[in-house]
Amino acid sequence: MDMNDGPADAEFRAEVRAWLADHLVGEFADHRGVGGPTDDEHWDLRLAWERQLADARLLNISWPEEYGGRGGTVEQEIIFLQEHAAAAAPYWVGVQGRDLFGPTLLRHGTPAQKARFLPAITRAEQFWGQGFSEPGAGSDLAGLRTRAVRDGDEWVIDGQKIWTTFGDTADWLYVLCRTNPDAPKHRGISMLLVPADQPGVDIRPIRNIVGSREFCEVFLTGARTAADLVVGEVDGGWKVAMGTVGAERLLTTLPYQYMFARELRSLVDVLRDRGRTADPLVRQRLADAWIGLEVVRYTNLRMIGTLTRTGDLGSESSVSKLQWATWHQRLGELSMRLLGPSAEIVGDGYALDGFQRGFLNSRAETIYGGANEIQRTILAERVLALPKEAT
């Protein structure tokens, strides 16, 4: 693919860089790189930053203007993500609505649903949580047991969801429910939009291994939502959900390579200061890590090319997920080995440094967004046409 910007894209890239230079100052500049999908720190600062982006209409650039976007191109959306990540600007807090639910609603929602929810997401005024995984249905998402039953003009929902990122700050949940228990496993599922502030919704934060409260478990006991708040067709929620997962694989994870590059540079700097880079074996391990990161980067570029040409990612998203999740886990393990005993010492109150947080967080990365085992099965069956896995 041609990685050179055309005139319009070059002008837009210059606009984004100029805006970041003018606004990424003061407290925002002091907190470069904070946040991320596994980091709930500096919430108020990140929200303030997101609202500045919203005021400049730099959020959801490719969304239609009537929903608060610019009516721009996917290429411009990608340019913004690249420049924002390269500048190490604070990561926004509205990732669920902005990057996952919003694109899903744009594709599958009704005009009334889009008009009601999308502008508030673009203004960073309304926040969402994802109700997909369950204690017995994580990687096997189609095994979910949360039920929704129609009661007049409402749905009544009962069940449990888990690993709901930032669920305790969500105003709404987009929830996969089984609406037809007699249908085959991947059918009879619907995506319902459920207000979080009601007696039938109990959201409980879960503290993870690095001390963050980003995850929640959600108990739905007679929770209710309006009958018309189904995204897509009733019993057709599996197709809708797979579109959400597809969005997660590129646009949501595109900034990761910049975060990973900063981690690798920081590791090299620390090891150089300690005199470790004089060891040829250490240099070789760092060179191998750099090569792996370049593979991740070029895979992302290939995905960008596919997305801009066809509007779809296909199997390349599974390749990318396998690559970056496995690479980052190995980088975390390498950091712990090369930093030696100091990597095993935490600060007061279990305070962790960046290397320790990266190592611990990476343990989950081969699971969320599609477990590695599932991605290998997808590639084996759908790309290589190998025999289907025995059930």
Residues acting as catalytic residues? 248
Distance (Å, whole) CA 105 – CA 128: 12
DSSP state of 33: T
Q: At what angle do helices 256-273 and 74-86 cross, to 10 degrees?
A: 20
Distance (Å, whole) CA 343 – CA 361: 15
* DSSP one-letter string for 212-268: ---EEEEEEEEEEEETT-EESSTTBHHHHHHHHHHHHHTTTTTTHHHHHHHHHHHHH
Which residue carries 């904070």 as its tokens?
A: 34
Q: Which token pair is 177?
A: 């429910």
Contact, 220 vs 146, CB < 8 A?
A: yes
Residue from 49, 364, 47, 48 nearest 212 by CA: 364
First-to-last C-alpha distance (Å) of the chain: 40
Those residues whose C-beta lies under 8 Å from the C-beta of residue 147, and which sit 6 or more positions away, are 157, 158, 159, 177, 178, 179, 181
Phi, psi angles (nearest 5°) of residue 123: -80, 0
Distance (Å, whole) CA 270 – CA 98: 36
Pairing of strands 128-131, 172-178: parallel
CB atoms < 10 A from the CB of 6, how many? 10
Distance (Å, whole) CA 66 – CA 63: 8
Tally of CA atoms within 13 A in the half-sphere of 360 that contains its CB:
18
CB-based burial label for 150 (10 Å; 0-12, 13-18, 19+): exposed
DSSP state of 386: P
DSSP-derived 3-state class of residue 180: coil
